[in-house]
Structures are given as C-alpha cells and as structure tokens.
Homo-oligomer: A and B are copies of this chain.
Amino acid sequence: MIIVMQNSHTPEHVDAVVARVLEMGFRPYVSDGEETTIIGVIGHSDAEQLAPLQYLPGVANLVPVTKKYKLGSRDFRPKDTVVPVDGREIGASKLTVIAGPCAVETEDQLWETARAVKESGASMLRGGAFKPRSSPYSFQGLGKPALEMLDAVRKEFGLAVVTEVLAPDDVDLVARHVDMLQIGARNMQNFTLLQEVGRSGHPVLLKRGMSATIEELLMSAEYILANNNERVVLCERGIRTFEDSTRFTLDINAVPVLKQVTHLPVIVDPSHATGKWNYVAAAARAAVAAGADGLIIEVHPRPSEALSDGPQSLRIDRFCDLMRDLGPLAQAVGRSL
C-alpha cells in the first residue's frame, strides 16, 4: 500500500502515520519529494486492514499496489491449472465446448439437444434446473426433476453435465446429479454459496458478475480455492455498459488479462455476452482467437418457443455450423477442438 500525503501536510502528520503503521506491525518507507510525500507500506496483502489510515490528518489517499488474491494468482502457481471434469480436461490444449438449453423444459427438448451436442463434437452439456430470474413471475426452472433428466442424459450420451446451483442447501443434491456446479453471474458475490461449493470439492464454473471487475472475480474464486477446492473454471459472460444494441458487452480483453494474472482456466459465454443469437458466432470465434480455453453456448431445438433466453439461443443447425467453423480457427491459434 502507498500512502500519499496531501501537499499541505506537516512533518507531524507524517510522524503520526509512521507511528500508526509501526503500531499495526508493518514497516513504513517515507519518500519526500518536491511536490509530494509518499509512505510505502510493503510486505502486506490486506489492503482492507490499512484502509482506515486514510482517515488520519494529512493523508490524501491510499494506493494499493499488491493484489488482493493469492491462491488464484500466477505468482502463487505459475503453471496453467487444468481442471478435470469426468475425464475431460478444461484448460488443456483441446478447447472445451459446453452447449445446451438455458433451462431444461421437457424430456424431449433435452434429449434432442443432448444428441445434437454430442454429434457436433462438443464434450459437455449445460441445462438449467434452478433458474435465477429477475421477475418472480417468470419460469423458475423445473428443479429436482430437471436434475434427474440431466443425470439420465449424461449417462445415455456420455456427456459431462454442468448446471447452476442457487442455494447453499441445494449444493449436495445438485452435486449428486451433475459433474460441475455453476455459480451464476448474479451469485458471484454470494459468499455463503461460494464457501459451500468450495467445501463440496466438486468442479465449479464461476461466472463473472455483470458489473464485477476482473479482480473481484478472482477474489470470489479465492473463496472457493481457500476452501481447498482447486477445481475452478472462470467464465467471462459480458459486462453491463451503456451500449444497448446488445444485452451485455463481451469484455474480450478479460481473456488475455486473466490468462496473464491467473493460472485458472478461462472460458467465454457468447450467448449471454451478446444476448442475440445472430451475434453469438462472431463472439465465439473472437473468444477462441483471444485465447479462451473454451465456450459455453445456449442451444435450443426451437428457440422461438424457449421458456427462457430464446433470443440468444442458437438453433441446432446453426450451432453445428459454428462448430464446423471453429475447427480451423482453433488450429490457427495452436489448439484443437
């Protein structure tokens, strides 16, 4: 942490800050400049603990210089982490494509989609059983019966399955039926839930909150990692901005940023990040070209009848076209599909 003094500070102000820093158990380094005096407090990670120093007389502001996360950082583990999910590997050279409906609606819809996903060459199936909906009057998912359907299709088609979990009390139930637990964007800072999926030891797909910074995403991952669950995959799914021609703005920069600062695998959700099916393919291609380890895509046999997220769901034939296009692209960036 750097403590920047006001231009009008007195030597007594500096002495008081130094005394308080020592009292807190840290070493201060004072640098006197013509215009500014700064006091470095290094060898310490908890910016939070030092924050109240801002309140001392003569202090202009505090500038954090160390990262707030540890276990997820490349400084902690320089090599890429590969997350195993029922025999597949997320974060390895082969791209992971997860596809399926926003919500499980009927047995027919799920089986039809699962068959197509399997045939297209994708290796994992998505499908919501519990749906977090902005409105209490919208379809909330089928719940437990959907989990059982997912369990059945994964056995039938040999697909690994990921589904969202909303409540801490549901973690065990969901983990018994699927291979990977998804923490949705709206729950990225639901710390009770993060701790619970951490304790489960099950692989976790952690989606970035729609207004979370990359650092906050990594701090949420830290809640899972700190509970001794290292099987965390991060997902960029679009952030909220002023632009309204798309549902969210895909933060494609987040891909190289995350690959630089963390060892955890990074996948992209082009369906939510655009909100319109006709932009999904371009966003998916961009994600692969930027270096993502995989994609999670909404696919529905009849999007115009979907109970949720229809507008951003790809029809099966269009999803198959996309899979075909991604092959050469993956190769061009040194990966396979």
Contact = CB atoms under 8 A, between A and B. Distances in A.
Interface of A: 2, 4, 7-8, 20, 27, 29, 31-38, 40, 42-46, 48-49, 51-56, 62-63, 65-66, 68-70, 75, 132-139, 166-169, 186-187, 189-192, 209-211, 213-216, 219-220, 222-223, 226, 239-246, 249-257, 259-260, 273-274, 276-279, 281-283, 285-291, 303-306, 308-311, 313, 325, 328-329, 331-333
Contact of A289 (B54, B240, B288, B305): B288
B33 A40 contact: yes
9 contacts: A4-B65, A34-B42, A51-B310, A52-B305, A132-B189, A169-B169, A214-B245, A249-B253, A328-B331
A305 B55 CA distance: 9
A31 B220 CA distance: 30
Nearest to A326: B332
A303 B256 CA distance: 20
A320 to B, nearest CB: 17
Stoichiometry, as copies per complex, reads: 4
Nearest to A188: B186
A43 B52 contact: no
A208 to B, nearest CB: 10
A234 to B, nearest CB: 14
A306 B313 CA distance: 43
Nearest to A256: B282
A254 B32 CA distance: 30
Nearest to A328: B332
Q: Give the 8 A-B residue pairs with the shortest CB-CB distance, closest first.
A: A33-B42, A211-B211, A52-B310, A289-B289, A34-B43, A256-B282, A29-B31, A286-B286
B169 A52 contact: no
Given A44-B35, A52-B303, A329-B332, A274 B250 contact: no
Nearest to A304: B55
A21 B40 CA distance: 19
Contact of A311 (B52, B70, B286): B52
A128 to B, nearest CB: 13
A2 B36 CA distance: 11
B187 A211 contact: no
B226 A253 contact: no
Contacts of A2: 2, 38, 40, 63, 65
A135 B4 contact: no
Given A29-B29, A285-B291, 7 more contacts: A45-B137, A46-B137, A51-B310, A52-B311, A137-B222, A253-B279, A259-B282
A287 B285 CA distance: 9
A135 B64 CA distance: 14
Nearest to A75: B7
Nearest to A3: B65
Given A135-B68, A136-B223, A51 B311 contact: yes
Nearest to A34: B43
Contacts of A135: 46, 48, 68-69, 219, 222
B249 A251 contact: yes
Contacts of A285: 289-291, 333
Nearest to A190: B190
B54 A43 contact: no
